[in-house]
Amino acid sequence: MDLIQMGKNAQIAANQISQLSTVKKNQALQVMAEALLEHSDEILQANETDMNHATENGVESVMLDRLKLTRERIEAMSDGLLQIATLADPIGEEIKGWKTEDDLKISQVRVPIGVIGMIFEARPNVTVDAAGLTFKSGNAVILRGGKEALHSNVVLAGIMRKALSEHEFPKNAIQMVDDPSHDIANQLMQLTDYLDVLIPRGSAKFIKMVIQNAKVPVIETGAGNCHVYVDESADLQKAVDIVVNAKTQRPSVCNAMEKLVVNSAIASEFLPRVEKALNPYNVDLRGDERAVAILPNINSATDDDWGTEYNDYIMAIKVVDDIDSAIEHINKYNTKHSEAIITNNYQHSQQFTNQIDAAVVYVNASTRFTDGFKFGFGAEIGISTQKLHARGPMGLEALTSTKYIVNGDGQIRK
Amino acid sequence: MDLIQMGKNAQIAANQISQLSTVKKNQALQVMAEALLEHSDEILQANETDMNHATENGVESVMLDRLKLTRERIEAMSDGLLQIATLADPIGEEIKGWKTEDDLKISQVRVPIGVIGMIFEARPNVTVDAAGLTFKSGNAVILRGGKEALHSNVVLAGIMRKALSEHEFPKNAIQMVDDPSHDIANQLMQLTDYLDVLIPRGSAKFIKMVIQNAKVPVIETGAGNCHVYVDESADLQKAVDIVVNAKTQRPSVCNAMEKLVVNSAIASEFLPRVEKALNPYNVDLRGDERAVAILPNINSATDDDWGTEYNDYIMAIKVVDDIDSAIEHINKYNTKHSEAIITNNYQHSQQFTNQIDAAVVYVNASTRFTDGFKFGFGAEIGISTQKLHARGPMGLEALTSTKYIVNGDGQIRK
């Protein structure tokens, strides 16, 4: 595995696809989509090899389900590429334009980043998804998937590369690292001469490891210890509905709610209603002292609870006396992902959105809306919890940079 | 020196100044500016200590001049703060706003980044400049200057902190690391729990060292191996003027021109004119074989020349047969900073601006305009040569992040 050669190949391909028209890029996505369907048998066969290895190695059933490909899942991957083809092309957009005191006309235009590294765990559909999104945004990608999905990933990338090649597109726009060793992963994280950015996708632990080890700039897609604060002025029925939705609609994901913060003025009325509404979902409720005084059947929260992302049917409850205390508590323990206030008080809605430090701050809505598709981006690379380059749900724009084009008429600097 | 305590202080201060109104922030800049003038004697005394140490240690005279403070230079620093007060406040700007299919109203608003680390070499005026720019953009800053300017930096920061304190602004918005050891610098580069970003300012070598060692995300302000390509259709007089300006107006800076690329169709007419125009500046010209054939008195360029940033009165000349070769050469050797084409051919102007990979691409203007002030930003943090977060001249906006504010009416996710 010669990563340096892959890096050089990627730079050449990046240069070529940065110049492709939108129509051409969409044609490429279409031939890739068709090729996946044509070669379904080959994909299923490679996936069977992966599934057999995984079963032999005692991989747990949740992981096996993520790894498994079926005809339906291959169709979904293929449809995903066609869907990306329908999205607006971010490249070439003029973001700003002005004339300077020296009569220079400056345009800031959107351009591809160049070469993107993606490092991810189990699910082989990420191979197709990442290839599609990076291609549409004019970038070359070097992919490195989990070892469980190695055969599936190599075959998927190979089919897309062949399809590109056959239609005179640069196949090195998509390259897959086929060596599953940690050593190669580490080398990829140090490939500063060739990679412009590295995007890890996987568990919080995996992403943290990449951040700690990478020299290439990383876009961090992180954890979500999300709070809902129910203000004394809240519409309590809406608050109950939002808490139930944010906690139980899909508890395993990063935008699910983990903590309920309640104003003491309404806690004794509100908490029993929430407890009852959550009852069918068997949520393990853990309260601070005042919450337990109102709901005697629930467990006591420990100090560890406030900073923990459960990703499960667990919710801790904190009772506070005013919005200042709520904001202080949330800013202390949150992971800067998504936070919500339920209120009918205008000043409180303003104070909360101004003072909470998070990628997305909601008034009267479920935290579950933090999502590239729900935001209307038509795609999602991940949800950034860092503050540089991109913050919050990332669509195609997060895979772009900018360039200043300056048109003059012989100007020199005095 | 307890960096962790400094980090905690900075986070608290960042939280406070993120909520200050524009008027309040400008008042703070004004009291800082006044305090510098009032305490000029104290500053000059500290600076004398630094100058004496530096002289004893044999620091060279160019560095001594950068280190030296005078009453005029203190006034200039003070005026710089007042100038920053006049700039538009980037914080609170709504960048985008829309309504989703779920009837959620989403606004993307500009917010401060949080805590910024700045690590820099000799010049003490960077202390004041960085403090002003980070304060105006609502961020707290932890500064670490070069050891030569230690006393000056500590006194400058102390005066600004005292002024903030006396007017009930959080003094920890500005903190100066007063331990000049490498060990502390390294610790600062690893302070991921408290620093949101690290901005190094200094030589290319220094910046490279920071990028190699930092775990905190870095904004790279880098080297400039800038080219001017003179097309066969160029107005040759404009081309001569631009080359002379880009090469000689201030050769030590990153946006100065280092390489001349000339189309062979006009080389024999153009090169003697350039040689003559550069004659008064004693520029060391180094040509490829074809350039030397036209200008027999110049030196031969070696392979090392094409990738070297001279920052001096040296210029290498390459003759090419067409624009494709010019673009290929430039994209191979440039540092993605600033590149110019001199042409009257419309297609060539389009091809060059589309295909050259650089932060700023010029048509018929000097590369020396790559500058936050010349771009009209009213300030300059540096010139980014990376592709993430900010690219090209960075004004106050480069010190900001964004936050999504979502207003709903009880929406839950289906």
pLDDT digits (tens, 9 = 90+) for A231-243: 999 999 999 999 9
Beta bridge partners of A140: A115
* Identity of the residue in B369, B401, B405 whose CB atom sits nearest the CB atom of A406: B369
Give which of A107, A111, A58, A104 is closest to A89, Cα–Cα. Answer: A111
Pairwise CB contact (< 8 Å): B406 & A363: yes
Q: Provide the pLDDT for residue A39.
A: 98
Contact residues for A377 (Cβ-Cβ < 8 A; gap 6+): A393, A394, A395, A396, A397
Angle between helices B125-136 and B150-166 (to 10 degrees): 30
Pairwise CB contact (< 8 Å): A368 & B249: no
Pairwise CB contact (< 8 Å): B387 & A215: no
Give which of A234, A227, A301, A299 is closest to A265, Cα–Cα. Answer: A234
CB atoms within 10 A of CB A5: 11
Query: Phi and psi at residue A172, in whole multiples of 5°?
Result: -75, 5
Q: How wide is the angle at C-alpha A302 spanned by C-alphas A297 and A307, nearest 5°?
A: 120
CB-side exposure of A346: number of CA atoms within 13 Å? 0
3-state secondary structure of B203: coil
- The ipTM value here is 0.94
Pairwise CB contact (< 8 Å): B376 & A101: yes
Rounded CA-CA distance A363/A340 in Å is 6
**What region, left, alpha or beta, does residue B92 occupy, with left being phi > 0 and alpha being psi -120 to 50 degrees?**
left
Pairwise CB contact (< 8 Å): A410 & B104: no
Nearest Cα residue in chain B from A355: B19
Rounded CA-CA distance B308/B224 in Å is 9
Pairwise CB contact (< 8 Å): B389 & A388: yes
Rounded CA-CA distance B278/B267 in Å is 16
pLDDT at A122 over 80: no
**Distance between first and last Cα of chain B:** 53
Nearest Cα residue in chain B from A376: B100
Rounded CA-CA distance A268/A272 in Å is 7
Rounded CA-CA distance B182/A311 in Å is 42
Q: Is A65 exposed, middle or buried (0-12, 13-18, 19+ CB in 10 A)?
A: exposed
- Contact (CB, 8 A) for B379 and B84: yes
pLDDT digits (tens, 9 = 90+) for A308-366: 999 999 999 999 999 999 999 999 999 999 999 999 999 999 999 999 999 999 999 99
Rounded CA-CA distance A130/A116 in Å is 10
Contact residues for B106 (Cβ-Cβ < 8 A; gap 6+): A375, B96, B97, B98, B99, B100, B404, B405, B406
Rounded CA-CA distance A70/B361 in Å is 49
pLDDT at A121 over 90: no
pLDDT digits (tens, 9 = 90+) for A375-407: 999 888 889 998 999 999 999 999 999 999 999
Pairwise CB contact (< 8 Å): B404 & A360: yes
Q: Where are the domains of chain A?
A: 3-221+391-407, 226-369
pLDDT digits (tens, 9 = 90+) for A156-212: 999 999 999 999 999 999 999 999 888 999 999 999 999 999 999 888 788 888 988
Which residue reads 């962790």 in tokens? B4
Structure tokens belonging to residue A217: 């700039």
Q: What is the dihedral of CA B215, B219, B223, B225, to 10 degrees?
A: 120
Rounded CA-CA distance A366/A239 in Å is 9
Rounded CA-CA distance A102/B242 in Å is 14
* Identity of the residue in A196, A375, A407 whose CB atom sits nearest the CB atom of B363: A407
Pairwise CB contact (< 8 Å): B406 & A354: no
Give which of B124, B120, B121, B141 is closest to B132, Cα–Cα. Answer: B141
Q: Distances in Å between the alpha carbon of B290 and those of A62, B227, B242, B258, B272?
A: 67, 18, 22, 18, 13
Residues on chain B touching A389 (C-beta within 8 angstroms): 388-389
What are the helix and strand counts (H, E) for chain A? 14, 16
Give which of B136, B174, B179 is closest to B157, Cα–Cα. Answer: B174
Structure tokens belonging to residue B99: 């309504």
Pairwise CB contact (< 8 Å): B387 & A401: yes
* Identity of the residue in A98, A392, A410 whose CB atom sits nearest the CB atom of B241: A410
Nearest Cα residue in chain B from A91: B354
Please tell me what DSSP assigns to residue A191: -
Rounded CA-CA distance A29/A35 in Å is 10
Which residue reads 């059947």 in tokens? A297
* Identity of the residue in B238, B364, B412 whose CB atom sits nearest the CB atom of A242: B412
Residues on chain A touching B404 (C-beta within 8 angstroms): 359-361, 375, 391-393
- CATH number belonging to domain B3-221+391-407: 3.40.605.10
- Minimal Cα–Cα distance from B101 to chain A, Å? 8
Band of residue A123 on the pLDDT scale cut at 50, 70, 90: confident
* Identity of the residue in B101, B374, B410 whose CB atom sits nearest the CB atom of A235: B410
Count contacts between A and B (CB, < 8 Å): 200
Rounded CA-CA distance A3/A1 in Å is 6
Rounded CA-CA distance A346/A365 in Å is 15
Q: Provide the pLDDT for residue A1.
A: 67
Residues on chain A touching B241 (C-beta within 8 angstroms): 410, 412
Residues on chain B touching A413 (C-beta within 8 angstroms): 245, 249, 366, 368-369, 374
* Identity of the residue in A106, A349, A366 whose CB atom sits nearest the CB atom of B375: A106
CB atoms within 10 A of CB B381: 26
Structure tokens belonging to residue B262: 């000339």
Per-residue pLDDT of chain B (414 residues; tens, 9 = 90+): 699 999 999 999 999 999 999 999 999 999 999 999 999 999 999 999 999 999 999 988 888 988 999 999 999 999 999 999 999 999 999 999 999 999 999 999 999 999 999 998 878 999 999 999 999 999 999 999 999 999 999 999 999 999 999 999 999 999 999 998 889 999 999 999 999 999 998 887 888 889 888 989 898 887 899 999 999 999 999 999 999 999 999 998 899 999 999 999 999 999 999 999 999 999 999 999 999 999 999 999 999 999 999 999 999 999 999 999 999 999 999 999 999 999 999 999 999 999 999 999 999 999 999 999 999 998 888 899 989 999 999 999 999 999 999 999 999 999
The answer to whether domain A3-221+391-407 and domain A226-369 are alike in fold is no
The fold adopted by the segment(s) B226-369 is Aldehyde Dehydrogenase; Chain A, domain 2 (3.40.309)
3-state secondary structure of B94: strand
Q: How wide is the angle at C-alpha A7 spanned by C-alphas A4 and A9, nearest 5°?
A: 110
Contact residues for A279 (Cβ-Cβ < 8 A; gap 6+): none
Q: Provide the pLDDT for residue B351.
A: 97
Query: Phi and psi at residue A118, in whole multiples of 5°?
Result: -125, 130
Rounded CA-CA distance A145/A157 in Å is 11
Q: Provide the pLDDT for residue B268.
A: 98
CB atoms within 10 A of CB A335: 19
Band of residue A154 on the pLDDT scale cut at 50, 70, 90: very high
Handedness of CA B139, B140, B143, B149 (dihedral sign): positive
Structure tokens belonging to residue A321: 């006396």
- Kindly state the percentage of chain A with pLDDT values over 70: 100
Rounded CA-CA distance B366/B369 in Å is 6
Q: What is the dihedral of CA B17, B197, B401, A188, to 10 degrees?
A: -160
Pairwise CB contact (< 8 Å): A241 & B412: yes
CB atoms within 10 A of CB A147: 18
3-state secondary structure of A114: coil
Rounded CA-CA distance A59/A147 in Å is 12
* Identity of the residue in B18, B361, B410 whose CB atom sits nearest the CB atom of A241: B410
3-state secondary structure of A287: strand
